[in-house]
Homo-oligomer: A and B are copies of this chain.
Amino acid sequence: MADFQLIKSLKRDQGGKIVLLVMDGLGGAPISANGPTELEAAATPTLDRLATEGALGALVPIRPGITPGSGPAHLALFGYDPLTYLVGRGVLEAVGVGVAVRKGDVAARGNFCTLDSGGRISDRRAARIPTEQAAPLCARLATIELPGVTTEVRHVKEHRFAVVLRGEGLAGDIDDTDPQQTGVPPHAAQPRSDGSRRTADLVNQWIAKANTLLEGESKANGLTLRGFASDPALPAFPEIYGLRSACIGVYPMYRGLASLVGMDVKEFPGDTPEEQLAAVARYWTDYDFFFIHIKKSDSRGEDGDFDGKASAIASVDAALPRLLELKPDVLAVTGDHSTPSLLKTHSWHPVPLLLWAPATIRPDRSTAFGERACDTGGLGIFPSSDLLPLLMAHALRLEKFGA
């Protein structure tokens, strides 16, 4: 991982502009013997030119063989050791639907459930009630008032929602209320430490009021809460690296992660790669670092849609000239993890990395951007969390260590 103390002691206030372009789930695999991967199959004339001028490598998001979720995979790209800096499930769920989780907040994941006449859970997922029925219930829960704190409730999907408590002196060291079985009532919220006692009391008050509001519902007449978590208090990215940092992403989860590390999360019209890169152009002078997150490569991989994933990659390539017109000093194109359409899910395979930095690069022999070239590229195979210092170096933003 990036050694934050070292970086902080060496960082310069000035230097080049850095763009980290993340195609979610970029890494792939062949679907026929010795065939191309999605990235190798994609039409990427601009990326291939950048690969020729730059150097390739491959990133290990967590540890060899470990398949990452999006949260830890992104933290690693930002330089945080994902096994050290853990973001609780409740926080991820909340930021995933666009609820900001700030220092001192406590977040949890919620499930609607069905309770029988004795208050015992008969269906842990309330028959997976559809979004159109669940969303109004969440709006009803959002009206609950508690002494001294504010609450935010946001529907996620079907029976799932996120809830955030906000106020002084809260702590999220609280057991799940979900007993993980039917035939028994939900647990009360139990603090695991004295510091969480008041928060657990407030949660239990909230649950009591929620149950009253849900009385009479046929399916969703109860709820359980899981994954209580506080803001992870991550060291601030802009301070570690001395970079004015912006996130140009569309999906709430990635915008939320950027916000957790202290980047400015920008609003912009549209959601295509072109529109995202247009947004970069709009904010170009205001920031030193841009984190651009493209979702579609991962989604098509999860669908098992090899050609769709290749097209998603090609569409980013097609938009790239607009970014290059801005003359970034350092451009890294990579992914948070691999999502081979072969496996239809995240995987542990190292993630292709293209590093382009016209003023400072030592090129390798690569002539195209693809997994085979990256796995044997001049940058080697290294942990994702070592990427940011390398980008800082190429932007001439780090002083020499020692005399």
Contacts and interface: CB of A to CB of B under 8 A. Distances in A.
A46 B1 CA distance: 39
A358 B29 CA distance: 11
A363 B349 CA distance: 11
Given A348-B398, A375-B362, A381-B380, A386 B64 contact: yes
Interface centre among A27, A55, A65, A378, by most B CB within 10 Å? A65
Interface string A3-29: 100100010000000000000000111
A68 interface: yes
A155 B231 CA distance: 55
B401 A72 contact: yes
Contact of A386 (B63, B380, B389, B400): B63
B66 A398 contact: yes
Contacts of A375: 55, 362, 364, 378-380
A362 B6 contact: no
Instruction: Please state the number of chain copies in the assembly.
Output: 2
Contacts of A394: 65
Contacts of A28: 362
Interface in A330-350: 340, 342-343, 345-350
Nearest to A360: B343
Contacts of A233: none
Given A65-B390, A69-B403, A365 B376 contact: yes
Contact of A378 (B340, B376, B400): B376
Contact of A365 (B68, B93, B343, B372): B372
Contacts of A206: none
Interface string A47-84: 00000110100100011111111111100000000110
A353 to B, nearest CB: 12
A163 interface: no
Given A3-B83, A67-B399, A363-B372, 8 more contacts: A10-B66, A27-B362, A58-B380, A65-B386, A65-B389, A68-B402, A82-B401, A346-B400
18 contacts: A3-B83, A30-B362, A58-B380, A65-B392, A65-B394, A69-B401, A71-B403, A72-B402, A73-B402, A82-B401, A93-B403, A340-B362, A345-B400, A348-B393, A363-B372, A372-B378, A380-B381, A381-B382
